[in-house]
Structure 1
Amino acid sequence: MTPMGLYVPLITPFDEQGRVAFDALTALAHEVLDAGASGLVALGTTAEPHSLDGAEQARVIDAIAAVCGERRAALLVGAHTIEALRALAERPEITAALCLVPPFLRPGEEAVLAHFARLAEESPVPLVVYHVPYRSGQQLSVGTLRRLAGLPGVVGIKHAVGGIDADTIAFLADVPPGFAVLGGEDAYISPLLALGAHGGVLASAHVATADYAALIAAWRAGDVTQARPLGHQLAVLSAALFAEPNPSVIKAALHASGRIPTPTVRPPLLPATPAATARALRYATELTRTLA
């Protein structure tokens, strides 16, 4: 299955004692699917997986997989090593694994290709490459992107390069058949869709989920009249939701609307400031009024 449409990389809500609030996580999963998301992402960066122990990570996958199984929705799971990928076996709800380009080491493009070839050979599920060079430190040329797309078992890419660069334009001009490009740079999702992306993995879509789903549908249908103004409005909202390290502002907005029990993030993150929270809530409210 080629992943397309809107995927929401779910946050991990915490309760007043700092434990994972699994009931809130399940409710949030249903809410975004009800609002038009095509699928969910478990243990993406937005889920703070660095702060979850092994048992918590497994239970997070269990909770989200149960919802996706019930709803027949697509599910991506963050897994970056052969060991983590093998642990996804016997989970029929999982559509694909979201695998980060090896961070920090900057191993080179040939090594990245060899790395994903090894992962895909060992993985029980297809792979979606997570390309985010300003975090990983590893640039990938358009030629390498096309070679990645040609690897057996690699079905897509979460493309988050910090904007729209020349390689992005060249790649989207000639995407290999059966390969999905999912935008991962929330504020730039509208122009990426206009260039031909197939959807997005968008943390901002915790808020105004239906509007992000409508944006993707409009660009995919070629409805520029609807897509262009909606894209401008959602870019402003996304910028506000990412004004401080993700997912602090998103969690604050969800808590303010009563959808999760606390706005807590785990170290090394800090909670969103009141100013950033107020700004994000203001833009969300303005968006609702504009589109009403």
Structure 2
Amino acid sequence: MDGLIGTGVALVTPFKNDFSVDVAALQKVVEHCIDGGINYLVVLGTTGESATLSKKEKQLVMQTVAKVNSGRLPLVVGVGGNNTQAVVDELKTSDFEDFDAIMSVSPYYNKPTQEGIYQHFRAIAKASPLPVVPYNVPSRTGSNMLPETTLRLAHDIENIVAIKEASGDMVQVNTIIKQKPEDFHVISGDDFTALPTVLAGGSGVISVLGQGLPSEFSTMISLGLDGASDAAYEIHNALLNGMKLIFEEGNPAGIKTIFELLGLSTALVRLPLVEASPTLKNKLKVFVNSVEKVRA
């Protein structure tokens, strides 16, 4: 799974003014990412508002991204939940012909033990026709997949090939990197920790901001992978305010505002999320303008 090295992005799902999926805007977003040097695309993650998409809409998003991508970049699709059997059934019955890997969030709300998390992913890996990337995001799930659980999965189960690690804890990240199998990828799930993770020996990031500013973000990660830390941190510092702002009122309200500023889609999100406030939109406009001035 060398396709998971570098900068992946968790794609938004753009909406029209009637809140239906905006296929044309999604096509523009994908081209924007490819043109900007992104290494792989992730669909139907948290940023894609998968929780509020119908089964038919999810299929539309997958088909749209696969069609416009046309085999140019590896594709990862989110398939997760807190009902293990339902996830297993979905994996067994869905068409993943155009996709290269499954990303699956650690079970939320139920707050399983570490053994429960291990057995959940073991069942998913057994059912999955594609390599599996568990996604640890304690701030959303209510439970942290500890390093020993991640490492147990990495060593025990062949088609669990990576971890998207969004604990925000670099001690935890470093522990996994030091003890993982050689071909297992540790991927940052936070924009803040993307560069530190890469410099510590990780494989890259699945970014939110990176889809709005793909050239800058992918260059930063590429420099980090090459060990050019000073040049990479120069970009990191230029993007740092944007990393904060896009999450100030929840994700993906912030990144969708950036796409609105870029003229690629609306900033609309579905309830229970709400669109970014005028105050945040103004802050993001200043940030985007500052990046464009540096680029010029």
Q: TM-score range by the shorter chain?
A: over 0.9
Structure 1 residue 159 corresponds to structure 2 residue 160: no
Q: Please give the per-residue CA displacement for 1:227-246, whole angstroms capped at 9, x wherever unaligned.
A: 11111222221111111111
Q: Please give the per-residue CA displacement for 1:230-273, whole angstroms capped at 9, x wherever unaligned.
A: 1122222111111111111211221122111x211110001100
Q: What secondary structure sits across from 2:123 in the alignment?
A: helix
Q: Which residue of 2 aligns with 1:290?
A: 294
Structure 1 residue 241 corresponds to structure 2 residue 246: yes
Q: Distance in 1 between matches of 2:144 and 2:189?
A: 16
Q: Which residue of 1 aligns with 2:256?
A: 251
Q: Which residue of 1 aligns with 2:12?
A: 11
Q: Distance in 1 between matches of 2:256 and 2:28?
A: 15
Report the TM-score, using the length of structure 2 for normalisation.
0.93
1:32-111 matched pairs, under 5 angstroms: 32-68=33-69, 70-80=70-80, 81-89=87-95, 91-111=96-116
Q: Distance in 1 between matches of 2:62 and 2:273?
A: 22
Sequence identity percentage:
28
Q: Distance in 2 between matches of 1:291 and 1:27?
A: 21
Judge conservation of contact 1:248–1:270 (CA < 8 Å) in 2.
Answer: yes
Judge conservation of contact 1:172–1:197 (CA < 8 Å) in 2.
Answer: yes
Counterpart amino acid of 2:135?
A: Y
Judge conservation of contact 2:40–2:73 (CA < 8 Å) in 1.
Answer: yes
Q: Which residue of 1 aligns with 2:25?
A: 24
Number of residues paired by the alignment?
288
Pairwise CA distance, 1:192: 1.7
Q: Distance in 1 between matches of 2:253 and 2:221?
A: 25
Judge conservation of contact 1:255–1:263 (CA < 8 Å) in 2.
Answer: yes
Q: What secondary structure sits across from 1:187 in the alignment?
A: coil
Q: Please give the per-residue CA displacement for 1:15-61, whole angstroms capped at 9, x wherever unaligned.
A: 12221111111121111011101111110101111111111111111
Q: Which residue of 1 aligns with 2:272?
A: 268
Structure 1 residue 117 corresponds to structure 2 residue 122: yes
Q: Distance in 2 between matches of 1:41 and 1:233?
A: 25
Which of 230, 242, 267 aligns to 1:225? It is 230
Judge conservation of contact 1:40–1:73 (CA < 8 Å) in 2.
Answer: yes
Pairwise CA distance, 1:183: 0.7
Q: Which residue of 2 aligns with 1:176?
A: 181
Q: Which residue of 2 aligns with 1:199?
A: 204
Q: Please give the per-residue CA displacement for 1:97-135, whole angstroms capped at 9, x wherever unaligned.
A: 110111111211111111111111111111000001121
Q: Please give the per-residue CA displacement for 1:174-206, whole angstroms capped at 9, x wherever unaligned.
A: 332111111111122222222122111111112
Moved more, 30-39 or 134-143: 134-143
Structure 2 residue runs without a partner (length 5+): 81-86
Aligned Cα RMSD in Å? 1.5
Q: Distance in 2 between matches of 1:274 and 1:167?
A: 37
Judge conservation of contact 1:158–1:181 (CA < 8 Å) in 2.
Answer: yes
Which of 256, 277, 284 aligns to 2:281? It is 277
Q: Distance in 2 between matches of 1:33 and 1:16?
A: 26
Q: Distance in 1 between matches of 2:278 and 2:211?
A: 19
Pairwise CA distance, 1:291: 4.1
Q: Distance in 2 between matches of 1:178 and 1:99?
A: 19
